[in-house]
Amino acid sequence: MSAAIEAEDLVFSYGDLRAVDGVSFEVSPGEVLGFLGPNGAGKSTTIKILTGQLEPDSGHVRVLGHDMATERDLAQGRMGVCFEEKNLYQAMSARENLSFFAKLFGLTEVDIDGLLSRVGLRDRAGDRVSSYSKGMRQRLMMARALLNRPDVLFLDEPTDGLDPVSSKAIRAAIEAEAGRGVAVLLTTHDMHEADQLSDRLAFINDGKILVVDTPENLKLAHGQRSVRVRSRKGNEVEETVISLDESAGERLHSIVSSDILTIHTEEATLEDIFVKFAGRGLEE
């Protein structure tokens, strides 16, 4: 199966600042690729290049087989984009916002109310967006990205700073879209979201992709295979780290007899692995 998104050696600079520096990757249909990196790492600029908002200084982008340099119109008609900024028309209702974009896409038969129901905004469809909460606006952004039933979704920090209800609704929508074969590129600096939603993860820092792999492989390759056991001996609490090697069974067995309080795996977090590659954390 050919890739839905192909980025090849992308380079883009804002003046002297190289924001994207030789980025290459592919996303297959039905796959969610998470772009994990701190603010200013180059995630949003990469999305702008992939969606045709920016032209790269060098490199090539193909979306759904269309070269973005020459066939941008064809690609854009089949993509959905959820921007980091809540760029909605505040003076218009959710329904009016979606109707307007449906006209731009040339869609004559689109179930706007159905789409709004899907993101939990059906009851407020006629209200002006200016009266919406941050979470509601983000859900409307998601609905707008899905309006043209896209084959490729670009989602830039879609759950950033949202309440759990809104985050859950958006994550459910992402999983559903991937389930119907949509290629999803998701940028985030939330490692839990990246871990939960992504089939593969790309760590990006200073405009460069540091590594691309599945979350599981990253954790296995770069984490410690050990468990941390807290147990009570008399009046004292002891903490023991047991490496999961050949002797792990024997050592675990030796402390089972004591009063075990907690046992935690010492699997590396994505944050740990990112720090290992980038030399800095995701929130820095």
Partner 1 sequence: MSERWRVVSAIIGKDLVAFTRDRFFLVMTGLGIVFYIGFFWLLPGSVDETIQLGVSGPMQSLALGDVSDSDGIAVVAYPSRSELVAAVETGTEVTAGLAFPDSFFDDVAAGRRASVEVIVGSGVPREIEQALTGMVGEVAFALVGSPLPVEQLDARQIVLGNDRAGDQIPLRERMKPLLAVLVLLVETLALSSLVAEEIRAKTVQAVLITPARLTDFLISKAILGTLLAFTQAVLIMAAIRALSPRPALLLTAALLGAVLVTGVGLIAGSSGGDFMQVLVLGMAFLIPLMIPTIAVLFPGTAAAWVQAIPSYPLTTTIVDVSSFDAGWADVAGRLGVLVGWCVVLLTIGIMALRRKVMTL
Interface positions with partner 1 (CB under 8 A): 51-53, 73, 76-77, 79, 81, 83, 85, 87-92, 96, 100-101, 103-106, 128, 144, 148
User: Is the CB of 134 or the CB of 192 nearer to partner 1?
Assistant: 134
Burial class (CB in 10 A: 0-12, 13-18, 19+), 110: middle
User: Is the CB of 55 or the CB of 245 nearer to partner 1?
Assistant: 55
CA 23 to chain centre: 17
User: Is the CB of 106 or the CB of 164 nearer to partner 1?
Assistant: 106
Residue position matching structure tokens 């590594």: 211
Closest distance of CB 87 from partner 1, Å: 4
CA 54 to chain centre: 20
Q: In angstroms, rounded to a whole number, what is the distance separating the alpha carbons of residues 210 and 53?
A: 24
Q: In angstroms, rounded to a whole number, what is the distance separating the alpha carbons of residues 177 and 161?
A: 22
Closest distance of CB 214 from partner 1, Å: 29
User: Is the CB of 83 or the CB of 203 nearer to partner 1?
Assistant: 83
User: Is the CB of 101 or the CB of 203 nearer to partner 1?
Assistant: 101
User: Is the CB of 89 or the CB of 277 nearer to partner 1?
Assistant: 89
The sign of the dihedral angle between the CA atoms of 29, 52, 34, 170 is negative
Burial class (CB in 10 A: 0-12, 13-18, 19+), 266: middle
Phi and psi torsions of 143, nearest 5°: -60, -40
- Total residues found in the chain within this entry: 284
Q: In angstroms, rounded to a whole number, what is the distance separating the alpha carbons of residues 201 and 93?
A: 36
Closest distance of CB 207 from partner 1, Å: 19
Closest distance of CB 106 from partner 1, Å: 6
Cβ neighbors of 28 (< 8 A, separation 6 or more) are: 1, 3, 4, 183
Closest distance of CB 201 from partner 1, Å: 25
